[in-house]
Amino acid sequence: MKTRRSKTTSLKRTKASKAARARVPSIADLQKQVVALSRELSEAREQQTASSEVLQIISSSPGDLKQAFQGMLTKAVRLCEAQFGGLFLCEGQVFRLVAVQIWPARVAQFMQQESAVDLRQHHPQLALARVARTKGSTHP
């Protein structure tokens, strides 16, 4: 009986050690995790820096919302690595443009004609209509 028990125990130990080795990540996996975590940390630092810069803009111009909106948009465009951006203020069903950052000519042309976008008059798939409906961010 002792022989059977020791073989069974030995077999269990072998299976357990194989399972433990299978769960150990490879060096390549660990390197990928380090790269991903470093990227996340860098993005978090960049966001924190941008937030701090926006707060400085707001505090330096307490009565000038236009400058604060432009500062927020500039930082958002940089953080998102976007080519252009627009910041709208939502007032019920109407979005009023409050800041612009490097817009394409056709968008700028449209917005020169419209000082505000009334969602009741535009297609429901318009990006601003999706923002109003979902209360979340979007991009075209």
Residue 95 bridge partners (DSSP): 90, 117
Q: What is the pLDDT of residue 38?
A: 93
Terminal Cα distance for the chain, rounded: 73
Has residue 5 got a pLDDT over 70?
A: no
| 45-92 per-position pLDDT tens digit | 888 887 888 788 778 777 778 888 888 888 888 888 888 888 888 887
Q: What is the pLDDT of residue 35?
A: 93
Mean pLDDT confidence for 120-135: 74
Q: What is the pLDDT of residue 89?
A: 86
Domain ranges of the chain: 1-60, 65-140
> Rounded to whole angstroms, how far apart are CA atoms 134 and 21?
47
pLDDT band at 22; cut points 50, 70, 90: low
> Rounded to whole angstroms, how far apart are CA atoms 47 and 41?
10
Q: What is the pLDDT of residue 123?
A: 66
- Class of domain 65-140 (CATH, top level): alpha beta
Mean pLDDT confidence for 40-44: 90
> Does residue 123 sit in helix, strand or coil?
coil
Residue 90 bridge partners (DSSP): 95
Has residue 10 got a pLDDT over 70?
A: no
